[in-house]
Amino acid sequence: MLLSTRGLSKQFAGLHAVENVDFDLPEGQVHALIGPNGAGKTTFVGLLCGRIAPTSGSVWFDGRDISHLPAHKRINLGIAYTFQITSVFANLSVAENVELAARRGMRGRAVQRASQQALAQVGLADRQEQNAGYLSYGHQRLLEIAMGLAQQPRLLILDEPTQGLADREVEGFIELVRGLAGAMTILLIEHNMPVVMRAAEQITVLNSGRILAQGSPGDIRADRAVQSAYLGTG
């Protein structure tokens, strides 16, 4: 497994935001994390990225216990998270934003090559000289994804990546994720269920800080507990 958690828990003033979560993410898989508001998704991802310290339990990456590593050291290991690597610099060009992200792991012309490839992948190659601050919100989301891709991480965590995207851009995102499957491990936190069902190979459903269900899109769609708690069809 590329990423695993065992007994991972986080309490805030007695509230169990995440409780005793065992989670496995194989290398090369596209895995979606879903659940109702307040399910613990944001806290769980914060624990994976190192922005939040666990109350108990452990996080493992490529066979190494990283439970107490800070976020920047986890990035150096190959974990990229859109909200950690971005903060789009509005006064810099689109290309400069991506190049800054790429410089975490490479130098020289490799930075430019990685930047250009990432911008082409998300459909922003024709906007690379434009100031990032002038992009629409949806295009800024695509820029954030490009900044993650440019680092060539082993694990890319995307939090609500399709928010603000037009239908055509959503279709492009799904195709992008499908194209990356196998070459990169992706954890997708997403409320757009059609995107989840089409892009993810496996899905984990969180509810009240615990895992409610795990399985393929078909398994999750048919799960009565998930239907009742989240999909609204139970």
- Which pLDDT does position 226 carry in this prediction? 87
Query: E strand or H helix at 4, and its extent?
Result: strand 3-12
Question: 141-158: buried (b, 16+ CB within 10 Å) or exposed (e) per residue?
Answer: bbbbbbbbbbbbbbbbbb
Token pair in block for residue 66: 């990283």
The closest of 68, 73, 62, 64 to 47, measured between CA atoms, is 68
Find out whether 217 and 47 touch, Cβ atoms under 8 Å.
Answer: no
Give the sign of the dihedral formed by CA 212, CA 214, CA 220, CA 223.
negative
What are the C-alpha distances in Å from 234 to residues 74, 104, 133, 230? Answer: 39, 46, 43, 9
- Which pLDDT does position 234 carry in this prediction? 45
- Which pLDDT does position 225 carry in this prediction? 85
pLDDT digits (tens), the chain, 234 positions: 999 999 999 999 888 999 999 999 999 999 999 998 889 999 999 999 999 999 999 999 999 999 999 999 999 999 998 864 556 889 999 999 999 988 876 777 889 999 999 999 999 999 999 999 999 888 998 999 999 999 999 999 998 888 888 999 999 999 999 988 888 999 999 989 999 999 999 999 999 999 999 999 999 999 988 888 776 554
Rounded to two decimals, the pTM is 0.90
Find out whether 28 and 184 touch, Cβ atoms under 8 Å.
Answer: yes
Token pair in block for residue 187: 């954890």
The closest of 69, 63, 76, 123 to 104, measured between CA atoms, is 76
